[in-house]
Amino acid sequence: LRDCIQTDIRYLSGWKQWKRTSSKSLKKVLSEVKELSSYLELWRHDIHSIEGIYCLMCIFPHSMCFCLLNFIIFILMFSFITLPSIISEYGIFNSSFAKVQPKHIEPHCTVYKPTGNQGLVYFYTYLKDLLSGTGFLEVTELFYGYYTIDAAWLSTLSYNLPLAYLLATFAYLALSLLWIIKRSVEGFKHNLVHNEDQFQSYCNKVFAGWDFCITDPNAAQLKHRSLQYELKTDLEEERLKQKIAERTTKEKLRIYSLRIFINIIVLAVLSGCFYSIYRATVFSQENSNDINNTNFQANLLVQYLPSIVITLANFIAPQIFSFLITFEDYSPAFEIRLTLLRCIFVRLASIGVLLFSLWSQISYCDTDKCKACGYNYELYPCWETQVGQEMYKLMIFDFIIIIAMTLFVDFPRKLLVTHCSCKPVQWYGLQEFGISDNVLDIIYGQTICWIGTFFSPFLPAIATVKYFIVFYIKKVSLMHTRKPAARPIRASSSNFFFLVVLLIGLVLAFIPLGISIAHIPSSKACGPFRSFNTSWAVVPATVLGFPTGLQQVLNSIASEAFAVPFFMVICLVMFYFIALAGAHKRVVEQLREQLVMESRDKLFLIRKITEAQRH
Amino acid sequence: MLGDGSGRSLGARRGGCSPERPPPPPGSSRCPVPAPGRSGGGERRARRKRGTAMGGSGSLLAREALDEYQELTFLSKQEILLAYKRFSELLPREERENLSARVPKSQILTLPELRANPFQHRICHVFSTSEDGDDSLSFEDFLDMLSVFSDSATSDIKSHYAFRIFDFDDDGTLDRKDLEKLVNCLTGQGEESRLSTAEMEQLIQNILEESDIDKDGTINLSEFQHVISRSPDFASSFKIVL
């Protein structure tokens, strides 16, 4: 190698030599910078140590990215919403705030007295408040209700807090969407250009099957076994597909009617879960407002009832689904995907049902006084804070459950398996490292964070801390108590799948936020949107303050005369790209055929040469 | 282009090389790591000269050697120093100063990164430049190996070396026997971990269907590289980090 460079130096002229030396020094500088930045990479060493044993790149880089994303969202909300509020409240830098009395509002709607703890209270009240977001936490910056400022003045500059609140919400949603799309574009590009199922192709499994970074002989043994299992299942699946193609009509009819029946059962299970969540939420809301109840445990139980029911549903439903799917006679890969999809649906939809039941309570109005406010002002004078509290409770409970499962289920199980050698315990064995469970946990937590940040601006900070701690807990648990799954999903395909499900979670988070912002009247007793009908109404109000020309432009953009042609143009652009992708696919096919032709030509020519040489 | 020039000059020097050895892939951004053939006297002379020049550096690598290694391989300074430390631990104490000392295969296979690897023997064979055929590695061979397996190596280099590692009979193509040995390596040693004959037939048939473009029953280097370029897991699995 050295010789080759030396000979090159002799051939090159002086100018080229100078170019080479300058590019060499540039490369040196870049490599130094890279080395420095590698020290800053969070958790790089930890991920390496895990890779040595399991070599799975699925969950842990994602935890790190979510930490970062949540931290950025928190910085956004803090600097645009909390910081101006605090500055103007305490009069720092000569600032002041303006609290405009809302006009045309009935006085009874504006009564809101949060019971921040006064006087002597029992100690456990603080604990209860910490766990459920009531009491002293309700009046802090944690929740929406604190930001009851209409404008902040910094000497002569005015800061429109309601508008900032709304725009910050849109900004963090857009940021999350861009981040997910950026990360999933690579996997999608790969999927679109090549045929489907390429991830499962045999060549990929055989040539790229062995992870060269495995260092532990036990892990290597497990990897051998899992590779053998994978190859065997794939071959079996191929034989099964052959069998399916040869099915008779009578068999097909039987299978399809069985599948329809089982899907009806699945729907019944889902509706059972959702109904129980609804009733639990209604019960919890009705009874938690009963302040005479001083029994600490019962009160906490009632507060946490929706979270408990959701967690139970998330635990039981997957077991039922994996039991049912064995009757449906699908190929193994499809079975896994369908069960996973159903479990994800249960998780995300349960949040939706919780919110829906909350809203049905909030907008339940039968008296005229209530109708004047637009929402149930007696029980929910500041309903955004209540919703924020529910999201806060969900997040805290999720965190507690993860810690509790690790401490009280995984470690004792490992102790039992290693020390007690009786048959049933050994058969039960260690918990497998299931990627799908961890994926679902992360997506569930992140969806709660996205929905809850509008109602509780400090929620991303809590989420950041939670992911940070959960990473280390899971790492310790993984090293000591889990064994690798017998059926690992491939790293690349699960990466893409994870991002697609995350996208679904984000889109699902748009819906409740959209309804809260645009449809339900904002509470008149607290929050930055008191003087407006709905939270969205601040935007038209601001537009009215713009110069006339700009107003006209904005109005025309929002009108149908603009929207319809815009939509048609977007469709045309999309069709163009789809056609382009199809054309590229065809070019690839033609090039492959050309390669085959050329090699055949080569063989033909070689044969001709050997014939000619013989004569 | 740098790549073409180097290929020509290397070919001229590597007089004694067997013709079946595939040439280094052109077009890579750095001068490609040369195929460890039976190199001529020139390289050996250069190595010996460098060995004596660095006698007094103690247990650390000389700075110019470090810079040179960093330029010639895909490794960073930290990685080269770590490799040097691990390599000298494998040598007996009196040979630690001598940089052209060779470590026998049995010692190399005690490294944790290699001991659990089913391709350990092939890796040692491919990267070894020993003339005795005993598959021992010198420090430069060791760095070669780490460079190819590092994060920053191009996928061209990686697929080139993967081809050579999988080519069990060293004939320049992957035929059915090579593929069978490859699959047996993957599923583990022992009779019960192998696939049955029918399954092996089906598997090899599928592999050839997917990768053999010219339908000659074997996979050559370009077909292999084409298949690897479509494989999403290759870059992340073909990696060793100390």
- Statement to judge: residues A502 and A549 lie in one domain: no
Q: Which domain holds residue A549?
A: 545-590
Interface of A with B in 504-563 (CB under 8 A): none
Interface test with A, best of B233, B238, B242 (most A CBs within 10 A): B233
Best of B75, B80, B186 to substitute, by most chain A Cβ atoms within 10 angstroms, is: B186
| Smallest CA–CA distance from B31 into chain A, residue | A1
Tallying the residues shown for chain B, one arrives at 242
Element (H, E) at A484: strand A483-484
Q: What is the token pair recorded at A309?
A: 């029911």
Which among A199, A206, A603 is the nearest to B186, CB-wise?
A206
Structure confidence at residue A85 (pLDDT):
84
pLDDT at A73: 92
Query: What residues contact residue A138 under an 8 Å CB cut-off, 6+ apart?
Result: A114, A115, A116, A129, A145, A385, A389
- What part of A 360-419 touches B (C-beta under 8 Å)? none
pLDDT at position B44, please? Answer: 39
Least confident of A97-111, A398-412, A547-561, B162-176: A97-111
Q: What confidence tens digit (pLDDT) does each residue in A531-585 have?
A: 888 888 888 888 888 888 888 888 888 888 888 999 999 999 999 999 998 999 8
Query: Looking at the domain assignment, is residue A409 inside a domain?
Result: yes
**Which of B115, B227, B238 lies at the smallest CB-CB distance from A217?**
B115
Of A11, A28, A216, the CB nearest to B5: A11
Taking CB atoms and an 8 Å limit, are A228 and B187 in contact across chains? yes
Question: Given this model, what pLDDT does residue A453 score?
Answer: 92
The residue type at A348: L
CB-nearest partner of A8 from B6, B115, B202 = B6
Helices (runs of H) and strands (runs of E) counted in chain B: 13, 2
Q: Please give the Cα distance from B152 to A1 (Å, whole number).
A: 18
CB B213 within 8 A of CB A596: yes
Paired tokens of B111: 């490294």
Question: Which residue is closest to B205 within chain A, CA to CA?
Answer: A202
Residues 196-235 of A with CB under 8 A from B: 198-199, 201-204, 206-217, 219-221, 224-225, 227-228, 231-232, 235
For chain A positions 479-508, those within 8 Å of chain B (CB to CB) are 490-493
* Structure confidence at residue A56 (pLDDT): 43
Establish if A434 belongs to a structural domain.
Answer: yes
Tell me the per-residue pLDDT of B114-126, one tens digit each, with 9 for 90 and over: 888 888 888 888 8
pLDDT number for residue A72 = 92
Mean pLDDT in residue range A475-485: 66
Q: How far is it, in rounded angstroms, from Cα B117 to Cα B126?
A: 15
Query: With contact defined as beta carbons under 8 Å apart, do A282 and A361 qualify?
Result: yes
Higher pLDDT, A426 or B186: B186
Q: How far is A302 from chain B (nearest CA, A)?
A: 49
Listed by number, the residues of chain A in 325-364 with a beta carbon closer than 8 Å to a beta carbon of chain B are none
Indicate if the pLDDT at residue B226 is higher than 60.
yes
A572 within domain boundaries? yes
**Chain A residues close to B238, C-beta within 8 Å:** 208, 212
Check residues B14 and A584 and name the one with the higher pLDDT: A584
Least confident of A100-104, A259-263, A601-605, B185-189: A100-104
For CA atoms B221, B225, B226, B230, give the dihedral sign: positive
- Say if residue A494 is in the same domain as residue A551: no
**pLDDT value of position A342:** 86
List the one residue out of A492, A479, A493 whose CA is nearest residue A51: A479
Say whether B224 and A31 touch across the interface (CB within 8 A). Answer: no
The answer to whether residues A465 and A567 belong to one domain is no
Residue at token pair 């599923």: B187
> Which H helix or E strand runs over A153?
strand A151-154
Question: A596 vs B6: CB contact, 8 Å cut-off?
Answer: no
Same domain, A273 and A410: yes
The H helix count followed by the E strand count for chain A is 22, 5
Which residue of A207, A232, A595 is in closest CB contact with B231?
A207
Residue A141: inside a domain, yes or no?
Answer: yes
β-bridge pairing A432-433 and A483-484: parallel
Kindly determine whether residue B213 and residue A596, on different chains, have CB atoms separated by under 8 Å.
Answer: yes
Two tokens at A388?
């924020």
Calpha distance A147→A82 (Å, rounded)? 8
Half-sphere exposure of A83 (CA within 13 A, CB side): 11
- Alpha-carbon span B241 to B145, nearest angstrom: 11
Is there a single domain that holds both residue A279 and residue A387?
A: yes
Question: What is the pLDDT at residue A294?
Answer: 64
Measured in angstroms, the CA of B123 and the nearest CA of chain A are apart by 11
Which of the 8 DSSP states describes residue B174? B
DSSP state of A103: S
Q: How far is CA A122 from the centre of its chain?
A: 39
Q: Which residue among B118, B195, B233 sits closest to A491, beta carbon to beta carbon? A: B233
Please give the interface size between A and B, counted as residue pairs whose CB atoms are below 8 Å apart: 170
pLDDT at A124 over 80: no
Q: Does A36 touch chain B (CB under 8 A)?
A: no
**Contact A324/B at CB under 8 A:** no
Q: B137-138 and B102-103: which strand pairing?
A: antiparallel
Amino acid in position A515: I
Task: Report yes or no: A299 and A288 within 8 Å, Cβ to Cβ.
Answer: yes
CA distance A178 to A499: 12
Counting residues of chain B whose pLDDT is more than 90, the rounded percentage is 5
Class of residue A421 by CB neighbours under 10 A (exposed 0-12, middle 13-18, buried 19+): exposed
Asked whether A209 and A226 are in contact (CB, 8 A), the reply is no
- Tell me: do A428 and A573 sit in the same domain: no
> Model confidence over A226-249: pLDDT tens digits?
888 888 878 887 888 888 788 788
- Nearest-CB residue to B240 (from A11, A212, A238): A212
Which residue carries 């059972």 as its tokens?
A: A272
Residue A539, domain member (yes or no): no
CA-nearest residue to A7 within chain B is: B9
Beta bridge partners of A98: A151
Does residue A343 or residue A56 have the better pLDDT? A343
Considering CB atoms only, which of A207, A214, A216 is closest to B234? A207
Q: Are residues A371 and A419 in the same domain?
A: yes
In single-letter form, the type of residue at position A356 comes to F
pLDDT at A331 over 60: yes
What tokens appear for A313 in the block?
Answer: 């549903």
Whether A24 and chain B come into contact, CB under 8 Å, resolves to yes
Instruction: Give burial (CB, 10 Å; 0-12/13-18/19+) of A357.
Output: buried
Residues A366 and A307 in one domain: yes
**pLDDT score of A128 more than 90:** no
Q: Please spell the DSSP secondary structure of chain B, one letter per residue.
A: -HHHHHHHHHHHH-TT--TTSPPPPTT-SSPPPPP--S--HHHHHHHHHHHHHTGGGTTS--HHHHHHHHHHSS--HHHHHHHHHHHHHHS-GGGTT-TT-EE-HHHHTTSHHHHT-TTHHHHHHHH---TTSS--EEHHHHHHHHHHTSTTS-HHHHHHHHHHHH-TT-SSSB-HHHHHHHHHHHH-SSGGGSPPHHHHHHHHHHHHHHH-SS-SSSB-HHHHHHHHHT-SSHHHHS----
Interface contact flag, A4 B233, Cβ < 8 Å: no
Confidence label for A115 from pLDDT (cuts 50, 70 and 90):
low
| A263-285 residue pLDDT tens | 999 999 999 999 999 999 888 88
Total domains in chain A come to 2
Six token digits for residue A613: 């040489």
Q: How far apart are CA A447 and CA A507, in angstroms?
A: 9
Both A295 and A350 in one domain: the answer is: yes
Give the nearest partner residue to A202 out of B33, B46, B210, using CB atoms: B210
- Tell me the chain B residues in contact with residue A202 when contact means C-beta distances shorter than 8 Å: 203, 206-207, 210
Query: What is the C-alpha separation between A471 and A477, in angstroms, rounded?
Result: 10
Asked if A321 and A266 touch (Cβ cutoff 8 Å), the reply is: yes
Kindly report, residue by residue over A437-472, the tens digit of the pLDDT: 777 788 888 999 999 999 989 999 999 999 888 888
Residue A48 burial (CB count, 10 A): 12
Nearest CA distance, B240 vs chain A (angstrom): 5
Percentage of chain A with pLDDT > 70? 80
From first CA to last CA, the distance across chain B in angstroms is 33
| B238 contacts A1? CB cut-off 8 A | no
Q: Which two tokens stand for residue A474?
A: 């899971």
Instruction: Tell me whether residue A8 is in a domain.
Output: no
A2, B46 Cβ separation under 8 angstroms: yes
Distance, in Å, from the CA atom of B207 to the CA atom of A106, rounded to the nearest integer, reads 76
User: Within this chain, do residues A389 and A487 fall inside the same structural domain, yes or no?
Assistant: yes
| Same domain as A74, residue A46 | yes
Hey, which residues does A483 pair with through a beta bridge? A432
The residue with tokens 């080759």 is A4
In a domain, A138, yes or no: yes
Contact A4 B193 (CB under 8 A): no
Q: Is A266 domain-assigned?
A: yes
> Which residues of A are less than 8 Å from B224 in CB distance?
207
A448 and A576 in a single domain? The answer is: no
**What is the residue-wise DSSP string for B101-151?**
-EE-HHHHTTSHHHHT-TTHHHHHHHH---TTSS--EEHHHHHHHHHHTST
- Residue A47 above 70 pLDDT? no
Which of A75-84, A170-179, A418-427 is predicted least confidently? A418-427
> Domain ends where: A532, A565, A598?
A532
Give the H/E segment covering residue A483: strand A483-484
The verdict on a CB contact (< 8 Å) between B116 and A219 is yes
Reported as type and span, the H/E element at residue A157 is strand A157-159
Question: For residue A13, what pLDDT is reported?
Answer: 62
B80/chain A closest Cα distance in angstroms: 13
Rounded Cα gap, residues B232 and A177, in angstroms: 24
Max Cα-Cα span within chain B: 62
